[in-house]
Amino acid sequence: MKANHILLCGAIASVVAANAVAATTSKTVTTQGYVDTAVATKQNKLSGTSGYAVTYGSSAGQTDGRQIVTSLGSDTSATTLPTTGAVVTGLNAKQNTLNGSANTVVTYTGTAGGTGSKGVYQASGSYSSQTSNLAEAGHVNTAVTNAFNEHLTCNTYATPGDTTSDCLLWNVNTLSGTYMPQNQ
């Protein structure tokens, strides 16, 4: 009896061991319907191009691609996808739109992106009311020329007697009143 018992135990162990190996290497029999259902819920492996993001297409299972770019362009109808770095770099190079009005010049305040403004001297106004304005070169030239002509006279010319030669010594005439530059 002992021999039969040992033989039976050995046979059972062999069957269990054989089934364990078979379970990992053999195919399970199933129905065609089960396989079709499982395959229908899957899609083909995604394909794409390096440097492109995969996007959902116009129908189930279809994919499209959008190029990933690392710098911003000027095309307002572009369909590319900029990186965060591209957006940050683009925004850091910009500032708010400047506000201004006619006859003003934008000035830098000393702070990055900070602006102010100065008026441009207007010949139609009085000079004293425009002391904080900027003068155009033409107005400065006229004012200096008029000042020399009205308030200075040449005492000594480089070539004596030649009033077209350079003046070496100027005399200042008497000044009075408020000076108003003339238009060019």
115 and 146 both lie in a single domain: no
Query: In angstroms, what CA-CA distances link 123 with 108, 129, 134, 136, 145?
Result: 25, 11, 12, 10, 15
* Residue 4 in domain: no
Which SS3 state, helix, strand or coil, does residue 12 take? helix
Average pLDDT over residues 101-119: 77
Domain that holds residue 98: 80-119
Task: Specify which residues 53 forms β-bridges with.
Answer: 66
The pLDDT value given to residue 61: 74
Identify whether residues 115 and 84 lie together within a single domain.
yes
Q: Is residue 130 part of a domain?
A: no
Instruction: Summarize the chain as % helix, strand, coil (round to 5).
Output: 35, 20, 45
Residue 105, domain member (yes or no) = yes
What tokens appear for 170 in the block? 């100027």
- For residues 86-98, give the mean pLDDT: 83
| Residue-averaged pLDDT of the chain | 74
pLDDT class for 68, splitting at 50, 70, 90?
A: very high
Q: How confident is the model at residue 12 (pLDDT cuts 50, 70, 90)?
A: low
Domain total in the chain: 2
Q: Is residue 95 part of a domain?
A: yes
The answer on pLDDT for 69 being more than 60 is yes
- 121: buried, middle or exposed (CB in 10 Å: 19+, 13-18, 0-12)? buried
Q: Are strands 152-157 and 104-108 parallel, antiparallel or unpaired?
A: unpaired
Evaluate whether residue 65 is within a structural domain: no
What pLDDT is recorded for position 9?
46
- Quick one: pLDDT at residue 65? 87
- Residue 150 forms part of a structural domain: yes
Q: Is residue 90 one of the residues assigned to a domain?
A: yes
pTM of this structure: 0.36
* Mean pLDDT to the nearest integer, 108-132: 70
In a domain, 61, yes or no: no
Q: Which of 11-15, 22-26, 55-59, 63-67 has the highest mean pLDDT?
A: 63-67
- Does 86 lie in the same domain as 113? yes
Model confidence at 102: pLDDT above 70: yes
